[in-house]
Structure 1
Amino acid sequence: MTETLYLSSDDVDGLATPAEYVDAVRDAYRQVGEGAPAEPRTKLVNDEPPGMLTTYAAVLPDTGAMGGYMYSAGFGARDAWFMSPLFDADSGEPLALLDGASMNPYKTGAAGAVGVDALAREDATSLALFGSGAQARGQLKATAEVRNLETVWVYSPTKEHREEFAGELNTELDAAVAAVASPAAAVEDADIVVTATNADEPVFDGDLLDPGTHVTAMGQYDPDKRELDHTTIERATYVPDLRARATHDAGSFLSALDAGVVDEDHVHAELGEVVAGVQPGRTSDDEITVFDSGGTGVETAAAAYLLYEKAVDEGLGSTIDVSPASQALTGQ
C-alpha cells in the first residue's frame, strides 16, 4: 500500500497566497518551455443528460511532480466537481488527491499573471477587467502581484454585480477599482485588458485597443465560443498557453483562422517558450499582445504541488491507501 494525502477544499482554501501561486506557475511554464510535456485538455461532451467530462495533465520534472485535473460539469446535478491527482515525477507514486475547486481561480489567475508579466509593458498601471465572478477575482489579484496597478475598470453586463465586485476589490487592493457602464469605457486608455467571462461572442471592439496594450483572455476554451474579435487577434502578437491549443479549442483564434484573417503562422510562441527565453515576448512598447489562457495541466500540477507541500508542513489533510499495480494485480 502507498499512503496518499487527501486534501479537501477546506484544507487548501487560503493555504497559499496569490504571489506563491504566481511563482509556482511561472516556474512550471519555464519547465514546459524547456521541454517538459503538457497537453491541451480533452473534453468529452454528453448530450443526455447534458454535461462534460474534462481532463488535462502535465509533467514538471524540476518541481518533482506531475498531475492535472479531471472534472465534471453539468449532468443531472447541474454542478461541477474538480479532482486533482498528484504524482511523484521520479517514482510515479501518488502523492495526493486534492479537491481542486477552491484553488481553481487562483491557479488560473496565476497563469494569467504569468502571461501579463511575460508580455505586458513593464510600466503598465491601468487594467480593464471583463467579468465579476470568482475567476475575475483570481485574475485581478494575481495580476496585481506582477504589475503596480493604479486603476482598474470593471465591466460585466449586470450593473449590480460589477458594482459590488468593484467595491469589494477596491478595499482589498492598493489600486483604485471602479465599475464602468460599457466595454468601451473599460478599454479606453487601458494598458492591460483581462477577459474572464462566459460570453459566447467578443466582449469588446479590438479597434479600441491602444498601441502597446496587452490582452489576457481566459474565459473560453471552446472552438465555437470566443471573447476576442478578429481585429484583436489580427493586430496582436498571439501567444497561447500551449501551442497545440490554438487549433484545438482556442475559439477566438479558430474563428479568425476560419475567416482567413490569420493563418497558423500567426501563433508567435507558447507561453512557456517566452518565459524560458526560447522565444521573445514583447519587442516594442507599441506592440499589442494577446495571451490566450484556456487552462492547462501546467498551472494545475504546479498549484497542486505547492498546496501539497504547504499542507504537509502544516499537518493538514487525511490519508488514503492506494495499492500499487504490482500488489493489486498479483494479490501479493
Structure 2
Amino acid sequence: MTDTLFLTSADVDDLAEPADYVAAVRDGYRQVGEGAPAEPRTLLPSRDPAGMLTTYAAILPETGAMGGYTYSAGFGARDAWFMTPLFDADSGEPLALLDGASMNPFKTGAAGAVAVDALAREDATEIAVIGSGAQARGQLAATATVRAFESVRVFSPTAESREAFADAFDDRLDATVSAAESAGAAVDGADVIVTATTASDPVIDDADVAPGAHVTAMGQYDPDRNELPPELVARATYVPDIRERATQDAGSFLAARSAGLIGDDHVAADLGEVVAGRHPGRTSDGEVTVFDSGGTGIETVAAAHMLYERASEAGRGKTIE
C-alpha cells in the first residue's frame, strides 16, 4: 500500500502560466532527444458504441517521473475523459493521478511553442492561427511566450468564433490581433502558421505559405486527419514530435507519401533531436519548416510532474491509498 495524490482539474488549473508549461515541456523533449524513451500513441477504436481509447507514455529520468495519458472520447455528449497517471521514475511507485482536462491545451500548446522556438526564424513577428477552439487558444498563448509577435491573424469558419478569439487575445497580448475573412488572408505574409483543427482536408494552400515560414500542425493524430497540403509537406523540413508517428498516424505525411511526393525518409528529425542539438532543424532563412504535433507522453509527463510538485507544495488535492 502507498499514498498517492489525486488531483482534479480545479486543483491544478491555476498553478502554472503558459511559459511554465513551455519550460517544462522543452526540458522533457531535450531528455527524449538525449535518449529517454517515449512511445507514440496507441489508439483503440470502438465501433459499437463509436468512440476510442487512446494511450501514450514517456519516461523522463532527469525529471524523475514517468507516465502518460489514457483518455476516452467519442462515446457521447459527456466527452472526453483525460486520466494522467504519474509514477516515480526511480522506484516505480505511483505519485499522482491527475484529471488532465485543464492542462490539456496548455501542455499541447507548449509542445507547439517549443517547436516554434526551435524551428521558426528568430525575427518572426507575424503569426496566423487556423482554428479558434481550446487547442488553438493554447497554442497561441504558449507560442506568444517564445516570439515577440506584432501581428496575429485568426481564421475559423464561424465568424462569431474567430471574432471572439481575436477579442480575447487582443486584450491579452502585446500584438494586434484580428479575425481574418479566410485562411488565405490569415496566412498571407505570416512567419508562423498554426493549424489547430479536426479537418480531414487541408485547411491552407501551399501557395500561400511564404518561403521561410514555420508551420505547426496539431490536428494530425489520425490517418484521416489532414490539415496540410501534400506539396507543403514535401517541400518542408518535416519534424514530428516522435519520429515513429509519421508513418503511423500523421495524416498529412501519409497523404504526401500516398501522392508519391515523399518517402519514409522525409522525416528530418524529431523534435527531441532538434531541442537536444542533435539535428540543426532550420538551416536557412528561406527554408519552410513543419512541426507535426499529434500528442505524446513527453509533454504530458513533463507538465503533470510540474503540476504535481506545485500542488504538493500548495497542499492541493486528496491523498488516496
Instruction: Give ranges in structure 1 of 5+ residues lacking alignment.
Output: 322-332
Structure 1 residue 149, shift from structure 2 partner: 0.7
2:246 alignment partner, SS class: helix
2:177 & 2:310 partners in 1: Cα distance?
31
Residues 68-114 of structure 1 show CA distances to partners (whole Å, capped at 9, x for unaligned) of: 10000022455110000000000000000000000000000000000
**Aligned residues: CA RMSD:** 0.7
Partners of 1:67 and 1:301 within 8 A in 2: yes
Q: Which amino acid aligns with 1:182?
A: S
1:186 alignment partner, SS class: helix
Q: Which amino acid aligns with 2:241?
A: D
Partner of 1:226: 226
2:79 & 2:49 partners in 1: Cα distance?
12
2:233 alignment partner, SS class: helix
Partner of 2:100: 100
Partners of 2:238 and 2:289 within 8 A in 1: yes
Partner of 1:326: none
Residues 230-268 of structure 1 show CA distances to partners (whole Å, capped at 9, x for unaligned) of: 111011000000000000100000010111111111100
Q: Which amino acid aligns with 1:112?
A: G
Partner of 1:126: 126
Partner of 2:253: 253
Instruction: Give ranges in structure 2 of 5+ residues lacking alignment.
Output: none
2:137 & 2:74 partners in 1: Cα distance?
23
User: Following superposition of structure 1 onto structure 2, how do residues 130-145 of structure 1 map, counting pairs within 5 Å?
Assistant: 130-145=130-145
1:51 alignment partner, SS class: strand
Partner of 1:209: 209
Matched, 1:52 2:52: yes
1:112 & 1:66 partners in 2: Cα distance?
21
Residues 156-215 of structure 1 show CA distances to partners (whole Å, capped at 9, x for unaligned) of: 000110011101111011111100001110111000000011111100101111110000
Rg: which structure is higher? 1
1:225 & 1:85 partners in 2: Cα distance?
27
Partners of 1:207 and 1:231 within 8 A in 2: no
Q: Which amino acid aligns with 1:6?
A: F
2:39 alignment partner, SS class: coil
Q: Which amino acid aligns with 2:247?
A: T
Residues 280-330 of structure 1 show CA distances to partners (whole Å, capped at 9, x for unaligned) of: 110000000000000000000000000001001111000111xxxxxxxxx
1:225 & 1:89 partners in 2: Cα distance?
34
Q: Which is further off, 69-78 or 312-321?
A: 69-78
Partner of 1:304: 304
Residues 108-150 of structure 1 show CA distances to partners (whole Å, capped at 9, x for unaligned) of: 0000000000000000010000010110110001000100011
Structure 1 segments (4+ residues) deviating >3 Å: none
User: Following superposition of structure 1 onto structure 2, how do residues 1-332 of structure 1 map, counting pairs within 5 Å?
Assistant: 1-321=1-321
1:40 alignment partner, SS class: strand
Structure 1 residue 224, shift from structure 2 partner: 1.8
Partner of 1:324: none
1:50 & 1:78 partners in 2: Cα distance?
13
Report sequence identity in percent: 70
1:25 alignment partner, SS class: helix
2:201 alignment partner, SS class: coil
1:141 & 1:149 partners in 2: Cα distance?
11
Q: Which amino acid aligns with 2:316?
A: L
2:88 & 2:175 partners in 1: Cα distance?
40
Partners of 1:155 and 1:162 within 8 A in 2: yes
2:148 & 2:281 partners in 1: Cα distance?
20
Q: Which amino acid aligns with 2:29?
A: Y
1:110 & 1:258 partners in 2: Cα distance?
31
Q: Which is further off, 193-202 or 74-83?
A: 74-83
1:124 & 1:4 partners in 2: Cα distance?
44
Partner of 1:328: none
2:238 & 2:65 partners in 1: Cα distance?
29
Q: Which amino acid aligns with 1:55?
A: T
1:216 alignment partner, SS class: strand
Structure 1 residue 220, shift from structure 2 partner: 2.7
